[in-house]
């Protein structure tokens, strides 16, 4: 990994050599380029698809493991696709292989992209979920945190329990992030950094009411989730966190819950990776991010 501190107030992370080596290891049937790391049918699974041979399944697992290392460090733009592929490594099929090839093709056309972080304020978190998108009807959590510009922490993961509505899935997503939120507060305090109340942005108003009021906003439909919302409510009452509304079109964590396409994908990618225009001029398509303002 290359870490560049030359520009004051900014640090840039790059794994270009790692990507180039990975591309050299990929087979010929992954040649080509792609504008996004995943198509809209990323989470769709065909039970009737042919399974991969043992050798090809091992190759699938090997490449996914390398992509997991990459997406957790400098290339969060492939994290949603890799999160899904990680759920398929035990028994991958030909459809999964095509989805893996799509990620490789995207990396081939965007290998110069880097992650830049410019800290200038307290941590802010965006938390979202996609309801029942997995084969077993479990939802998918997306998390994004910044301390100014660029993603300091991101996550894209399958939820561990099934929920009965999108509101409950959003509440589970907030619970998923709380441990990291509290750890971040403790870490900054230990460095002598003032830590005001931490803001968690959420686009579901019913989930916000459950988080703030706990049992006061609960009903027969949500009482089985009391441990989760009581924990969040307790932290809100202590003044450690607050949950604020964010419109869906500005929900940055949405990037980590579903495979966005086109202008929406490029706009959020530019915010999450804090990409100056010179970082992606070599892409296979004409970028319009230079004309898009952050919201």
Structure confidence at residue 231 (pLDDT): 84
pLDDT single digits (tens) 151-169: 999 999 999 999 888 988 9
Pairing of strands 241-245, 198-202: parallel
Which CATH topology does 116-250 take? Nucleotidyltransferase; domain 5 (3.30.420)
Coil vs helix vs strand at 147: strand
Q: Are 265 and 78 in contact (CB under 8 A)?
A: no
- The predicted-structure confidence for 202-241, as pLDDT tens digits, reads as follows 999 988 988 887 655 555 555 556 666 678 888 999 999 9
Q: Where are the domains of the chain?
A: 2-114, 116-250
pTM of the shown model? 0.88
pLDDT tens, position by position, 115-144: 999 998 889 999 999 999 999 999 999 999
């Amino acid at each position: 990994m290359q870490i560049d501190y030359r520009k004051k107030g900014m640090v840039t992370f790059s794994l270009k050599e790692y990507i180039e080596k990975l591309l050299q290891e990929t087979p010929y049937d992954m040649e080509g380029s792609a504008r996004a790391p995943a198509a809209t049918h990323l989470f769709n699974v065909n039970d009737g698809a042919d399974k991969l041979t043992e050798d090809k399944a091992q190759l699938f697992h090997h490449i996914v493991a390398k992509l997991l290392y990459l997406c957790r460090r400098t290339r969060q733009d492939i994290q949603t696709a890799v999160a899904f592929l990680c759920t398929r490594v035990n028994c991958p099929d030909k459809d999964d292989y095509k989805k893996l090839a799509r990620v490789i093709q995207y990396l081939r056309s965007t290998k110069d992209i880097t992650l830049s972080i410019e800290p200038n304020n307290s941590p802010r978190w965006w938390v979202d979920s996609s309801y029942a998108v997995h084969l077993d009807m479990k939802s998918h959590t997306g998390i994004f945190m910044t301390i100014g510009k660029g993603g300091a922490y991101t996550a894209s993961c399958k939820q561990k329990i099934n929920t009965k509505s999108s509101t409950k899935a959003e509440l589970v997503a907030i619970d998923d992030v709380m441990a990291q939120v509290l750890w971040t507060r403790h870490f900054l305090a230990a460095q002598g950094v003032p830590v005001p109340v931490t803001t968690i942005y959420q686009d579901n108003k019913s989930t916000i009411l459950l988080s703030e009021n706990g049992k006061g906003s609960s009903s027969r439909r949500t009482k089985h989730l009391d441990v989760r919302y009581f924990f969040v409510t307790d932290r809100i009452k202590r003044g450690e966190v607050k949950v604020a509304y964010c419109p869906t079109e500005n929900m940055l964590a949405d990037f980590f819950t579903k495979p966005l396409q086109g202008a929406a994908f490029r706009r959020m990618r530019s915010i999450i990776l804090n990409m100056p225009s010179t970082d992606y001029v070599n892409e296979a398509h004409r970028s319009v991010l230079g004309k898009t303002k952050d919201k």
